Structure 1
Amino acid sequence: MNRLKFKITATTFLSDFSNAAIIFTFSLALIGKSAFWFSLLYGVYYFSSFIIHLIMGMFIDKKSPASLMIFSEIARFVLLLLAFVIVSMGSNQKEIYLFIICLIGLVEPIFHPAEMKVIFHYFSGRELSKIDSILELSDQSMMIFAPILITLIYKFKNIQGALLIILIILIISIIINFLLNKVTKIDIKTGNSDRDSFKELLSGYAYIVNKRKLLYSSSILGIVNIAFGIVTPLILPLLQVYKADATLLYLFVTTAESTGVIFGALFILTFNKTKRITNQYYPFLFISSSFLIVGMAQKSPVLIIICYFIIGGATSYFNVLNNLQFQKSSEEKMIGKVFAFKGMITVLGFTVGSLIGGFIITIVAVNTLFIAVGFVTLSFTLLILFLKKNKKF
């Protein structure tokens, strides 16, 4: 059993590495292109991810979770192999990356819900809190490690080298998942038809709309992700003014943000401050202020890196408060559907933000867009805090 649990944990780190590495590598491949293409890259990826989140509830409980994990990893391997072959033949067209990232967005989100079923089945209740911590550590540590490794390979080799290392990681993950598939035996739900499953999805959405606190938390979650969707694809274009140093600075900024998330989580665990501060708009205050400063500090890379460390910490705090609100406001029997909806809101918000950013960036400069997003979200946050203080909201 211990070997089985080790394999399950190993697949988490391998999958999280490829998740972080793919979008980072494709962003590097667009260096020199207009900022519009960076927004479009993220936009098509998150739009296709939103589509699969929308329908995933209709089949995720009807298939073997280990088989779904294998399917997700193999599909990504095939798509990246296709990209590797095309690029190796001398073609480096931006449309290729957009097409492949769109298809990856359709298969990548299947992995983790299936993995959670395996984890829930084989880990005891006492072990689940520990494995949750490991999952968070895996996600954030790979957000640091993957960009560092990909940047080094990209600097000394090229995009083909970066794609090759991801393909190797995916091969290892596929092998481990095949081994898991041989030993995992989990009952599959077969009772509901597709029509019944679709009705269940709609009932979950109706439940959230009719719960004021859930609707409130869903709304701010959507707003936060729209803001991130606008600016996140444009970090590298913002840094392209530094030319040869842009790739390295991009690495520092993304690493600073992930490090901030880890420090934020450690701060919460150490001081348990969520008991004192429960308003989700307070961390958003730091996020929006940092966006504003980043736009103003385009010629100060150190200040940008510091701001993204603050953004990471504030995001971690916001996520905890938002999760707690969703948990406390939901009945136990509805938790699964509520968090499926939460995931969909996150992806939809980022998709909408990316598309908005892609449109606006054709009109204004990148740093101006950062300033605008920071100003609008900061003004909105201060207004809501004022209304709440005066009990008008």
Structure 2
Amino acid sequence: MSDVPYDVQDIRKDFPILAREVNGKPLVYLDNGASAQKPQVVIDAVTRGYAEEYSNVHRGLHYLSNLATEKYEGVREIIARFLGVKDVEEIVMTSGSTEGLNLVAYGWAMPHLQAGDEIVLSVMEHHANIVPWHLLRERQGVVLKWVDVDVNGDLDPQAVIDAIGPKTKLVAVTHMSNVLGTVVDVKAIVAGAHARGVPVVVDGSQATVHGPVDLDDIGADFYAITGHKLYGPSGSGAIHIRRERMDEMRPFFGGGDMIRHVHKDAVEYADPPMKFEAGTPNIVQQIGLGVALEYLMDLGMENIAAHERALRDYTRDRLDGLNWLNVQGRSAGKGAIFSFTLDGGAHPHDISTVLDKKGVAVRAGHHCAGPLMDHLGVSATCRASFGLYNTRDEVDKLVEALELCHDLFS
């Protein structure tokens, strides 16, 4: 935990976009669940990376290539430290969670699963942790087994464990719902699945943003993160893969950098993690991600979590005072994510448009969570998702804008 007091007004100064206006109103950015804004240190690192330090990595012996390689590979160590991983070589660099989860699908699951084998997953999953498994269903006859959430939006770990049968070969679960904010006890799920000999892949895209994680403690076989939600650049991310699972995987992408030798009649692959990192990577983006993670660790993930818990509680109290607002997900320990609809049938797209006129940015739609929308019985919701720089004053502005929506649409 950082020794520096958490001063949200001071922190906001690190994010230049928060000083701008939208439609003549101060920007209230509540779309952090989709992508978070970037602090100046990340913007500076990306600018410097392209303007002063750019070169390809791993292949050159000149100064710029060595500098880029040193910075790029240093990010692997930063990610490992951020995630609580002791073995740096278990970190595979990716363009984000989607690539990481597809790497698991093609590199591990495809050669290990046959027709009739099962994948257990929750109804809360983001499409990034659904569609890769549907591809296996379509192409190999794999069966998807779904576990529902309860009325509060909580996922019972035992329900996931109980869904594991003799044909189950993988459990795929989110650590935190991007729609409901529900935090899942993935450690309990991992322990139960491992007791039955089944590996677990966790989508950590949301959870790692809002508080500390310790992957060596959780014990998941695969854990994916994405940089653009972690206040880093788009096109950056990583997946943690246990070494024993790496040994069971075949490469997903083929090309330069992931090979040791290539001949006309044979190829010898590099050792992991390079075995899974083909071609020129998103060099500058990954360097920016490293700067973003160091920024978060300097603030203290525990401090960020405490700030967001207080913001969640304040938001919940304010929204509960609007008896015409329907909030989806009432998990007691949820994160600061609120998905909602209004009585009267106003479409979330219309609601978000009115909010935007007041400078309040929220997301409207299915949030890449089709099965959860079906489970909730809605086609779409508005979602206000909070980050480390949001304030109570911004919550009040959200409520004021929602009251305007109610007046317009009721």
* Category of TM-score, reference length = shorter chain: under 0.3
Q: Which has the higher helix share?
A: 1
Query: Which has the higher relative contact order, 1 or 2, with Cα contacts under 8 A spaced 6 or more apart?
Result: 1
Larger Rg: 2
Q: What TM-score do you get using the length of structure 2 for normalisation?
A: 0.26
